[in-house]
């Protein structure tokens, strides 16, 4: 890594971290009861009046903190997939793994009348099963072709979307209503009590992904080079893909399927840093900032109505995907 990039990288990471903290401070202070930064900090430190402390710590903090955490999980998951597949479209939402997580929750809700409290478990099962199906359909004796993996993933996603539609059509009114609200991708009404199982999975999978970041960097040099440097290629690839699925499925379990973040965050982070070094932390921070920004737009743009954050991200994602395809076609 040359000297300009070495100097630029810490600055970008610190800027992203600072931006996330400033956005969080703004989100905690904005709303029907506007609070100053001093009041927000006082509430976080336990030095504010009881009413203000309740608004900040019990009502707003879970939403803001989980928006940052889920955004980081989606950004990290997208970085894992795009690095492993060496393709900017190699995103878990494009390949249908968050759709698989959604299918798992729908099956539990509609066919087994399970409580939404089981969402983390069944979302993880659905995401992992969809990933296993895509990998099995792509596998050949010599390994996995990454372009084929993406194409098969898009096909499996279409099948899962059809299954999800069928399940909702044949569900009871109550189950269909619950599934419809959850499927929009929303942080409304989110609490620590509902989210803590998914938070545990996100933190564990995130830590494991960062621990394997050096192997990921070597895999990007090519399978032969990585193997020559002592990396067990297929085992490492499977482990990282599994961690990426866990990250996106856990995020989906809490907030529903949220598009765009996993697709865009790694590419934005790469353009900001100018290097693949520390790509995972940069993508995680970018994803956190993007999701919190999208949630603020969803809450403030059409007051007094609050939109699901998934509606905002999918709108932005459509525009971003069109721009990405145009840019890739011109470059080629």
**Residue 180, class by beta-carbon neighbours within 10 Å (0-12 exposed, 13-18 middle, 19+ buried)?**
exposed
3-state secondary structure of 139: strand
Domains and CATH numbers, the chain: 3-331 (1.10.3470.10)
Helices vs strands, H then E, count in the chain: 15, 2
Quote the longest CA-to-CA distance of the chain. 66
Contact between 11 and 275 under an 8 Å Cβ cutoff? The reply is no
- C-alpha–C-alpha distance, residues 74 and 251, integer Å: 7
CA distances 274 to 43, 86, 328, 329, Å, are 39, 16, 18, 21
Q: Give every CB contact of residue 320 below 8 A, 6+ residues apart in sequence.
A: 260, 263, 264
CA angle (12, 256, 251) in 5-degree steps:
45
Tens digits of pLDDT across the chain (332 residues): 554 555 467 788 899 999 999 999 999 988 888 888 898 998 888 888 888 888 888 889 999 999 999 999 999 999 999 988 888 878 888 888 888 988 888 888 788 776 666 777 888 899 899 988 988 888 876 667 778 888 899 999 999 999 988 988 887 777 777 777 777 888 887 888 888 888 999 999 999 999 998 888 888 877 777 788 777 877 888 899 999 999 999 998 888 889 889 988 998 898 888 767 778 999 999 999 999 999 999 988 887 788 889 889 988 877 877 887 787 777 76
Q: Torsion angle of alpha carbons 81, 84, 90, 93, nearest 10°? A: -20
Q: Among candidates 100, 102, 106, which has minimal Cα distance to 171?
A: 106
- C-alpha–C-alpha distance, residues 34 and 43, integer Å: 13
The pair phi, psi for residue 200, each rounded to 5°, is -60, -45
- C-alpha–C-alpha distance, residues 298 and 309, integer Å: 5
């Amino acid at each position: 890594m040359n000297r300009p990039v070495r100097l630029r990288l810490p600055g970008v990471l610190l800027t992203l971290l600072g931006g996330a903290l400033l956005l969080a401070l703004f989100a905690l202070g904005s709303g029907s009861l506007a609070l100053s930064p001093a009041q927000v900090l006082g509430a976080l430190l336990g030095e504010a009046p009881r009413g203000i402390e309740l608004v900040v710590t019990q009502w707003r903090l879970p939403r803001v903190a989980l928006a940052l955490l889920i955004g980081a999980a989606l950004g990290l998951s997208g970085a894992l997939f795009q690095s492993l597949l060496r393709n900017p479209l190699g995103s878990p939402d494009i390949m249908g793994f968050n759709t698989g997580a959604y299918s798992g929750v729908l099956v539990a809700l509609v066919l087994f009348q399970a409580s939404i409290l089981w969402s983390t478990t069944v979302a993880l099962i659905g995401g992992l099963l969809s990933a296993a199906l895509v990998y099995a359909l792509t596998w050949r004796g010599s390994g996995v072709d990454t372009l084929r993996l993406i194409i098969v993933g898009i096909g499996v996603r279409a099948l899962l979307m059809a299954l999800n539609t069928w399940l909702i059509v044949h569900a009871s009114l109550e189950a269909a209503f619950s599934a419809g609200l959850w499927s929009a991708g929303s942080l409304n009404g989110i609490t620590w009590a509902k989210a803590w199982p998914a938070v545990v999975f996100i933190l564990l999978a995130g830590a494991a992904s960062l621990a394997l970041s050096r192997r990921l960097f070597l895999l990007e040099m090519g399978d032969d080079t990585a193997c020559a440097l002592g990396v067990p290629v297929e085992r490492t690839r499977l482990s990282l893909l599994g961690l990426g699925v866990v990250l996106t499925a856990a995020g989906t379990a809490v907030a529903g399927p949220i598009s765009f973040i996993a697709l865009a965050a790694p590419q934005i982070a790469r353009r900001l840093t100018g290097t693949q070094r520390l790509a995972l932390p940069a993508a995680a921070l970018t994803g956190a900032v993007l999701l919190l920004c999208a949630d603020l737009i969803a809450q403030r743009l059409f007051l007094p109505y609050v939109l699901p954050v998934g509606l905002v991200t999918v709108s932005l994602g459509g525009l971003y995907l069109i721009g990405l395809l145009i840019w890739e076609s011109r470059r080629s």
